[in-house]
C-alpha cells in the first residue's frame, strides 16, 4: 500500500503526508522512514510539472519538499483568485454601464439620443450651461401643471424614489458586499431535533483571528495571531524589544517546534515579553518561544484563555482521556510483561536440518547498549544465557530507535 500510494484529487499535501506516515508505521523502515516518505511524496504527486521541479533538487529533504509544494499550491490558488476577481470586475462594469443607459432612455423621448456615453455627457453639460435643469430628472424646469417624469421612479444607484441615476446625490458606496452561503436543507425524519446553523462570510474571508497588542516598554503595536491549536507562544527574534532580546535563554539541542503540516523548526530559545492589551489596558508578562524566521507572532491556547481573548466551553466538549489517566485506571494491564494463561511448546520439524548462523559484527557505539539490553531481558526472565554447544544459532538484529 505504501509504495503504490498516490495523491488523490483534492487532497492537500498535509493530508497526503499524514496518510503516508500512517502507512509507514506498519512497515518498520527505521531510519529510512523520512527519506522513503520524501520519495513517495515526490513520485505520488498529481502535478507533473511540480514533480519534475523537485526531482532536479539534489539536496531535497521531506521538509523542503513540503515547503516547495505548499508554495506552489498557494501560488496556484492566488492566481485562480486573481482571475476570478478580474472576471467579476469586468461583469460589474458591464452591468453598471447598462444601468446608466437604461436611466438615460427614460427621458430622452423628445430629443435625439446620443450614440455614446461620452457624447451624452458632453451634450448634457452644454445643455445645462444654457438652461437650469430639474434636480430630479435633469430636464429643463417643467411648465406649470406638467408632472416630472422622475416622480414615482426608483433610482438605480441608491434605490431611493423620485429621481434618476444621474441626479442622485448620494456618494459612491465603499462598504464591502457580504455574501451568504446557502445551506441545502436535507429531508430527514429527525430534522426537528437539530438546530439549523446559517453560515455568513464577508467577501474578504479571513480564516485567522488577530489581536493587536502593545509590547515592551516602548509599547510598540504588533499584530498577533490567536491560535488555539498552538501549545506555546511564538515570536520572531526581529520583532522582540531590546529588553526581551537580552533575556533570551537558549533552547535545548533536542527541542523542536512541530508545525501543523508535520514540518519541524528549531527555536532559538525562550524569553519574557511585556504585553499590554490596548482594548482593556491589562498588562501581562508572557513567555514566548523565539524563532529566527520572520513569521507572524502567535498567541497560543493557554495564553489566549488567560488573557480573555477566547473562551472554551469545556462543559460542551467530551474530552479525550489523557494517557496518565488510562494508566492509573488500568494499572493491572500495564504492570509487568503481561502473559497469557497456560504454557506453549514450540514444535520443531525434525526433518529440517539445523542451521547455526555466524555472529554478526556489532558496531563499537552499540556494544554497550546491546549488553545493557541483554542484561535487562535476562533479569526479567525473557531470555537465558546458554554456555554450551547448540545446533540452532540465530544472529541478533539491532533496531536502534
Q: Is the pLDDT of residue 184 over 50?
A: no
- For residues 75 and 79, give the distance between their C-alpha atoms in angstroms, rounded to a whole number: 6
Query: Residue 382: what pLDDT?
Result: 86
Query: Residue 106: what pLDDT?
Result: 43
Question: How many CA atoms lie less than 13 Å away from 302 in the CB half-sphere?
Answer: 7
- 209-315: CATH number: 2.40.70.10
Q: Is the pLDDT of residue 189 over 50?
A: no
Of 48, 25, 52, nearest in space to 36 by CA? 25
Give the three cell numbers for residue 225.
Answer: 495571531
- For residues 41 and 20, give the distance between their C-alpha atoms in angstroms, rounded to a whole number: 8
Q: Report the percentage of the chain scoring pLDDT > 90.
A: 11
- For residues 73 and 47, give the distance between their C-alpha atoms in angstroms, rounded to a whole number: 10
**Could you state, in order of their start, the residue ranges of all structural domains in the chain?**
1-105, 209-315
Q: Is the pLDDT of residue 92 over 70?
A: no
pLDDT digits (tens, 9 = 90+) for 218-247: 888 989 999 888 889 999 998 898 888 888
Cα distances from 173 to residues 100, 120, 169, 170, 201, in angstroms, run: 17, 24, 12, 8, 19
Of 32, 31, 33, 51, nearest in space to 43 by CA? 51
Predicted model pTM: 0.35
Q: What is the mean pLDDT of residues 163-190?
A: 55
Residues facing residue 273 across a β-bridge = 286
Q: What is the mean pLDDT of residues 102-125?
A: 48
Q: Which residue has the higher pLDDT, 134 or 146?
A: 134
Q: Which residue has the higher pLDDT, 298 or 31?
A: 298
- For residues 78 and 63, give the distance between their C-alpha atoms in angstroms, rounded to a whole number: 23
Q: Under 8 Å CB-to-CB from 301, ≥6 apart: which residues? A: 227, 228, 229, 230, 231, 310
Query: Residue 375: what pLDDT?
Result: 92
Of the pLDDT bands very low, low, confident and very high (cuts 50, 70, 90), residue 206 is low
Query: Residue 224: what pLDDT?
Result: 92
Give the three cell numbers for residue 20.
Answer: 503516508
pLDDT digits (tens, 9 = 90+) for 285-344: 999 999 988 888 999 989 999 998 988 887 787 766 667 777 777 877 777 777 777 888
If you ran DSSP here, which 8-state letter would residue 139 be given?
A: S
Q: Where does 28-108 show beta strands of DSSP type E?
A: none
Residue 100 has φ and ψ, to the nearest 5°, of -65, -40
Q: Are 243 and 274 in contact (CB under 8 A)?
A: yes
Q: Map grid coordinates 558496531 to a residue.
A: 363
Give the three cell numbers for residue 233.
Answer: 507562544
- For residues 58 and 78, give the distance between their C-alpha atoms in angstroms, rounded to a whole number: 29
- For residues 230 and 291, give the distance between their C-alpha atoms in angstroms, rounded to a whole number: 15
If you ran DSSP here, which 8-state letter would residue 155 be given?
A: P
Query: Residue 38: what pLDDT?
Result: 86
Query: Residue 174: what pLDDT?
Result: 46
Q: Are 249 and 269 in contact (CB under 8 A)?
A: yes
Of 20, 16, 67, 88, nearest in space to 45 by CA? 16
What value does the mean pLDDT of the chain take? 76
Q: Is the pLDDT of residue 103 over 60?
A: no
Query: Residue 255: what pLDDT?
Result: 86
Query: Residue 108: what pLDDT?
Result: 41
Q: Is the pLDDT of residue 146 over 80?
A: no
Amino acid at each position: 500500500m505504501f509504495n503504490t500510494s498516490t495523491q488523490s484529487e483534492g487532497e492537500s499535501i498535509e493530508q497526503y503526508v499524514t496518510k503516508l506516515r500512517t502507512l509507514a508505521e506498519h512497515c518498520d523502515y527505521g531510519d529510512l522512514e523520512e527519506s522513503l516518505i520524501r520519495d513517495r511524496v515526490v513520485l505520488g504527486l498529481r502535478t507533473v510539472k511540480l514533480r519534475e521541479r523537485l526531482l532536479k533538487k539534489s539536496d531535497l529533504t521531506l521538509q523542503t519538499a513540503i515547503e516547495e509544494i505548499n508554495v506552489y499550491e498557494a501560488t496556484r490558488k492566488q492566481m485562480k483568485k486573481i482571475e476570478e476577481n478580474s472576471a467579476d470586475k469586468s461583469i460589474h462594469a458591464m452591468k453598471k454601464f447598462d444601468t446608466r443607459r437604461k436611466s438615460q432612455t427614460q427621458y430622452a423621448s423628445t430629443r435625439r439620443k446620443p450614440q455614446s456615453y461620452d457624447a451624452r455627457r458632453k451634450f448634457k453639460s452644454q445643455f445645462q450651461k444654457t438652461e437650469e435643469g430639474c434636480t430630479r430628472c435633469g430636464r429643463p424646469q417643467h411648465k406649470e401643471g406638467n408632472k416630472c417624469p422622475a416622480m414615482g421612479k426608483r433610482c438605480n444607484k441608491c434605490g431611493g424614489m423620485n429621481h434618476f441615476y444621474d441626479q442622485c446625490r448620494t456618494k459612491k458606496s465603499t462598504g464591502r458586499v457580504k455574501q451568504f452561503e446557502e445551506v441545502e436543507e436535507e429531508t430527514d425524519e429527525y430534522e426537528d431535533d437539530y438546530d439549523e446553523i446559517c453560515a455568513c462570510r464577508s467577501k474578504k474571508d479571513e480564516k485567522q483571528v488577530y489581536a493587536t497588542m502593545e509590547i515592551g516598554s516602548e509599547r510598540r503595536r504588533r499584530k498577533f495571531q490567536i491560535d488555539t491549536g498552538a501549545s506555546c507562544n511564538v515570536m520572531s527574534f526581529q520583532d522582540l524589544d531590546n529588553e526581551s532580546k537580552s533575556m533570551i535563554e537558549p533552547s535545548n539541542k533536542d527541542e523542536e517546534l512541530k508545525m501543523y503540516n508535520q514540518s519541524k523548526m528549531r527555536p532559538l530559545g525562550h524569553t519574557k515579553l511585556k504585553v499590554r492589551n490596548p482594548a482593556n489596558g491589562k498588562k501581562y508578562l508572557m513567555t514566548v518561544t523565539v524563532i529566527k524566521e520572520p513569521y507572524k507572532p502567535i498567541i497560543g491556547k493557554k495564553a489566549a484563555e488567560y488573557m480573555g481573548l477566547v473562551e472554551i466551553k469545556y462543559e460542551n466538549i467530551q474530552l479525550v482521556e489523557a494517557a496518565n489517566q488510562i494508566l492509573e485506571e488500568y494499572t493491572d494491564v500495564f504492570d509487568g510483561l503481561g502473559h497469557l494463561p497456560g504454557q506453549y511448546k514450540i514444535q520443531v520439524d525434525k526433518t529440517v536440518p539445523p542451521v547455526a548462523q555466524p555472529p554478526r559484527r556489532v558496531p563499537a557505539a552499540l556494544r554497550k547498549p546491546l549488553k545493557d539490553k541483554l542484561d535487562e531481558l535476562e533479569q526479567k526472565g525473557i531470555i537465558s544465557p546458554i554456555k554450551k554447544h547448540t545446533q540452532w544459532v540465530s544472529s541478533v538484529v539491532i533496531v536502534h530507535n
